Amino acid sequence: MENQEHVKCLIIGSGPAGYTAAIYAARADMKPVMVAGLQPGGQLTITTEVENYPGYPKGIQGPEMMEDFRKQAERFGTDIRWSYVSSVDFSKAPFKVVVEEKTTILADTVVIATGASAKWLGLPSEQRLNGFGVSACAVCDGYFFRGQDVAIVGGGDTAAEEATYLAKLCRKVYMLIRKGELRASKAMQHRVFNTANIEVMFNTDTKEVMGGKAVEGVKVYNTKTKEEKTLTVTGFFVAIGHQPNTDIFKTWLDMDEQGYIKTVPGSSNTKVPGVFACGDAQDKIYRQAVTAAGSGCMAAIDAERYLSAQGLH
């Protein structure tokens, strides 16, 4: 094939995991090439203030933080391609990674850091107020709503965990469940029902998030009684699941039923030697920038050791 190049380390994705892997790989002289993906910088580029990433005592805007990550990765020579990977072939090393359906890169190691995307309800008002009271991450944004009333949609473990997290900060938390029951584990349900300032509203759909420049309320609808009402809240959290961005790897790697890549515990190793996974593409539990960055570091170290063991570095 034309345009074929051969690299030691190819990093797919440019969130905290990808950039951290790049910093480590570049400093280990692995001359990493990064394919940044369709949303360069990842999920942090759609958040506002980040206050829980160590090293930023005054907080920082998500997009600005990812610019800092990028500069640090480039400072050590990471070659960033503002493009996306369309397919891969991990049947043998060097691995084939196809960029934009036309250029093939051969890679001795691949670090997958493609992240996950939050699922949204799909309401225009939810999109319009995203970042202005609408959030998909209570741990990231809950602090901004302390002492206030908020609503959270979803009845899984994430929503239950986030609702109890918010209940510690907020005056009142409305938990909006579309069915007549929670999907969350019994232990998490128990915590929800035993938290005095969480009001669980079953059979409840969201019709509209209200507010001009910021969230002022949410219009909800009871699917059984057909009753509609407006809850006065300043925060609207969506916790209806995430989708890992791992479709292109399905043929080659082991994944759980939701598509999270399985790694060997305590490492970033996938079932294919030389292919490593980090960040939200393989983590459905923690999903924080700092944990993603930590796992990106692991992936680069694992890749470096693999290359050394193969006599390639």
Q: Which residues are catalytic?
A: 137, 140-141
Closest by alpha carbon to 207, among 126, 135, 138, 127?
126
Q: What residues form DSSP beta bridges with 210?
A: 217
Closest to ligand NDP by CB, 149 vs 161, is: 161
The answer to whether 202 and 277 have CB atoms below 8 angstroms apart is no
Work out how close the CB of 228 gets to ligand NDP at its nearest, in angstroms, rounded to a whole number: 16
Smallest distance from ligand NDP to CB 168, Å: 16
Least CB distance to ligand NDP at residue 110 (A): 25
Residues that bind ligand NDP (CB under 6 A): 121, 153-159, 161, 178-179, 183, 240-242, 284-285
Q: Show contacts of 214-219: CB within 8 Å, 24+ apart.
A: 214/129, 214/132, 214/133, 215/129, 215/132, 215/133, 215/134, 218/151, 218/174, 218/176
Q: Find residue 242's DSSP bridge partners.
A: 118
Q: Measured from the CB atom, is 159 or 299 closer to ligand NDP?
A: 159
Q: Could you say which DSSP state residue 248 is in?
A: G
Give the nearest distance from C-beta 236 to ligand NDP in angstroms.
12
Q: Is the dihedral of CA 173, 179, 181, 182 positive or negative?
A: negative
C-alpha count within 13 angstroms, C-beta hemisphere, residue 302: 26
**Interatomic CA distance for residues 23 and 69, integer angstroms:** 9
- For the record, the structure tokens of 33 come out as 């090439």
Pairing verdict, β 85-89 and 95-99: antiparallel
In angstroms, what is the minimal distance from the CB of 237 to ligand NDP? Answer: 12
Ramachandran category for residue 241: left, alpha or beta (phi over 0 → left; psi -120 to 50 → alpha): left
If the CB atoms of residues 98 and 240 are measured against ligand NDP, the closer one turns out to be 240
- Nearest CB to ligand NDP, comparing residues 283 and 304: 283
Cβ nearer to ligand NDP, comparing 11 with 159: 159
